Amino acid sequence: MRLKIRLNSDKEYIALPIHHNYLLQSMLYKNLPKQLANFLHDVGFSYEKRSFKLFTFSKIQSEHFKISNQQIIYKAPISIYISSAVNDITKNWGETFIRKEYFLLGSNELFLESIEVITNPDFKDKMTIKTLSPITTYRTFEKDKKYYRYYSPTETDFQELIKENLRKKYEVISGEKIPDFPLKIKPIKTRKLLLKYKDFPIEAYEGTFEINTQPNLFKTVYDAGLGAKNSQGFGMIEVT
């Protein structure tokens, strides 16, 4: 289930650090019931040794923005999309945003202007998608110390990692083991972004892709995000 949240301010502009995924994520956690927020933040939905939050969110959308003094300045109002493969999570966000008078995003006091439930597209075997937040894939290695190797859409590991991540998410959501399945991701027009979550550097890619897979698996991608770090604001897509 997916929502579009439009937030406004008494001020003309909203100022945030350039790297502000953590602030967006914090706002979302603070606008869930405490027990649910603690479960998602601390536990999540377990798969073997992994844990999935099964939600994702978009970059901020605004009519105009500029970068100044290590900040990004958005013209109010702003919009964000939030999505989860667990409908109760999204419903709780909707109910909270409707009920509360104001919300804090960093030091900005915002209020709800509108909220919209987005209808799912007609999922097909082959679809063209556009990122609403950039996609990241990586492997963890240890040689003297732990380090992370990120992959670009032109590398074989990019597709392999997304496929394995998608398999695990689908099995968590459905409770069913899934045999091997078709998945092909073709970059159409992409660009690399170097971002930070807190002070942790992340390499990610935004743009348009063509995806071939089963419609039920595409729904998992649409609801829970594509690739890794979805709950940190990565891998949200829309169908073009």
pLDDT of residue 145: 81
> pTM for the full model?
0.94
Q: pLDDT per residue over 144-182, tens digit each?
A: 788 899 999 999 999 999 999 999 999 999 999 998 899
Domains detected in the chain? 2-118 (3.30.70.1890), 126-239 (3.30.70.1900)
Answer whether residue 143 shows pLDDT above 80. no
List pLDDT tens digits, range 58-98: 999 999 999 988 899 999 999 999 999 999 999 999 999 99
Judge residue 95's burial from the number of C-beta atoms within 10 Å of its C-beta, 0-12 exposed, 13-18 middle, 19 or more buried.
Answer: middle
Determine the Cα angle at 31 with ends 25 and 34, to 5°.
105
- Average of per-residue pLDDT across 119-124: 94
Does the structure show a pLDDT above 90 at 13?
yes
Residue 55 has pLDDT above 90, yes or no: yes
Total Cβ atoms within 10 A of residue 117: 11
The pLDDT, as a whole number, for residue 78 is 97
d(CA 53, CA 25): 12
pLDDT at 50: 85
Residues 6+ apart with CB under 8 A from 176: none
The tokens describing 18, both together, are: 């350039």
